[in-house]
């Protein structure tokens, strides 16, 4: 019987993400202050079957707890919480081309007009979101014709979840009338966060980054990473790079601008 690895984690200096740190990326769609990215290294060799153990150990580690930023009130702070429990779900991450979103740009699918302008529709409140166009209807309105344009598996893809995060936005977000800015910024964020490699035998490209969606809870059962995870815009991921033995945390919290303390 194999003994599970005991992982040691070390916080890394803040990385420069060319696309994510671009001024237009953060301010154009009201992203600034709504998400935080951090990087950590780990010491042990990593295999896919370690993924749940690694994620659980990460949030229960004292060094991570002291460094990890999470939202408290209206600011991002280091709360020093060691998780009591962690919900972990693997997220499919296989998309190599933005042609994945071509269905959105086909006017026959009624998301946009030929010009790329997003089609408006009657206003409908769903969860905490105002659905006023067919793009948001495709994401939220199960009764709309557009809702099944993408399968549930496709909607679970990491790149689609980034796209949805941008489209639904935050409380201070200025929504776009055309679809292209959402796609452009989705591409920038996705490209910054994942690593693509070649297969040794065929030279075919594949995404080597392992993506986990996580909800970490404290000893009272309160979720803190992300906080209030019942809101679909409060979402957190661990991105694991086995080759460099690094973990990237990516967390988005719905709301207005939140400074980092």
pLDDT in tens, 58-108: 999 999 999 999 998 888 999 999 999 999 999 999 999 999 999 999 999
| Per-residue pLDDT at 258 exceeds 60 | no
Please report, in angstroms and rounded to a whole number, the separation of the first and last CA atoms in the chain.
45
The residue range of the domain holding 155 is: 98-190
Q: How many residues does the chain have?
A: 261
Say how far apart CA 33 and CA 36 lie, in whole Å: 8
Instruction: At 14, give phi and psi (nearest 5°).
Output: -60, 130
What is the pLDDT, as a whole number, of residue 169? 81
How many domains in the chain?
2
Residue in 167, 142, 144, 143 with CA at minimum distance from that of residue 152? 142
Same domain, 66 and 87: yes
> Could you say which of 190, 220, 237 is where a domain stops?
190
> Do both 89 and 204 map to the same domain?
yes
Are 54 and 7 a contacting pair, CB within 8 Å?
A: yes
Domain-embedded: residue 2: no
- The mean per-residue pLDDT over the stretch 226-234 comes to 94
Same domain, yes or no: 162 and 213: no
Tell whether 136 and 200 lie within a shared domain: no
Instruction: Answer yes or no: do 176 and 106 share one domain.
Output: yes
Find, among 140, 159, 142, 42, the residue nearest to 91 by Cα: 159
Q: How far apart are CA 125 and CA 132, in angstroms?
A: 9
Q: Tell which residue, 63, 68, 1, 11, has the closest CA to residue 36.
A: 68
Q: Is residue 3 part of a domain?
A: no
For residue 242, report the phi and psi dihedrals to the nearest 5 degrees: -65, -35
241-250: pLDDT as tens digits? 999 999 999 9
> What's the DSSP call for residue 5?
P
Residue 85 and residue 133 in one domain: no
Whether 123 and 168 map to the same domain: the answer is yes
Span 35-53, mean pLDDT? 92
The answer to whether residues 87 and 49 belong to one domain is yes
Assess whether 88 and 199 both reside in one domain.
Answer: yes
Q: Determine contact, residues 236/251, Cβ cutoff 8 Å.
A: yes
At a CB cut-off of 8 Å and minimum separation 6, what does 136 contact? 129, 130, 167, 168
Q: Is the peptide bond before 226 cis (omega within 30 degrees of 0)?
A: yes
Q: Which of 140, 158, 190 is the last residue of a domain?
A: 190
CA distance 244 to 75: 31
Whether 48 is covered by a domain: the verdict is yes
Answer for the pair 32, 26: CB distance below 8 angstroms, yes or no: yes
Task: With cut-offs at 50, 70 and 90, classify the pLDDT of residue 208.
Answer: very high
């Amino acid at each position: 019987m194999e003994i599970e690895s005991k992982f040691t984690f070390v916080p890394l200096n803040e990385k420069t993400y060319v696309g994510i740190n671009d001024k237009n990326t953060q301010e154009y769609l009201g992203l600034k202050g709504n998400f935080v990215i951090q990087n950590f290294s780990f010491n042990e060799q990593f295999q896919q079957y370690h993924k749940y153990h690694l994620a659980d150990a990460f949030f229960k580690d004292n060094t991570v707890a002291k460094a990890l930023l999470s939202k408290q009130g209206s600011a991002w702070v280091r709360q020093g919480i060691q998780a009591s429990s962690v919900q972990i779900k693997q997220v499919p991450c296989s998309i190599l081309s933005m042609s994945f979103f071509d269905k959105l740009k086909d006017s026959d699918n009624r998301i946009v007009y030929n010009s790329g302008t997003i089609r408006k529709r009657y206003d409908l409140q769903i969860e905490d979101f105002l659905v006023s166009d067919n793009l948001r209807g495709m994401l939220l309105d199960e009764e709309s014709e557009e809702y099944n344009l993408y399968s549930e598996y496709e909607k679970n893809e990491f790149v689609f979840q980034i796209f949805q995060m941008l489209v639904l936005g935050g409380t201070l977000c200025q929504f776009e009338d055309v679809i292209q800015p959402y796609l452009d910024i989705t591409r920038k964020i996705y490209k910054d966060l994942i690593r693509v490699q070649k297969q040794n035998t065929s030279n075919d490209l594949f995404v080597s980054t392992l993506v986990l969606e996580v909800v970490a809870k404290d000893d009272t059962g309160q979720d803190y990473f992300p906080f209030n995870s019942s809101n679909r815009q409060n979402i957190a991921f661990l991105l694991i790079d086995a080759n460099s033995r690094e973990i990237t945390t990516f967390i988005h919290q719905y709301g207005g601008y939140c400074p980092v303390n």
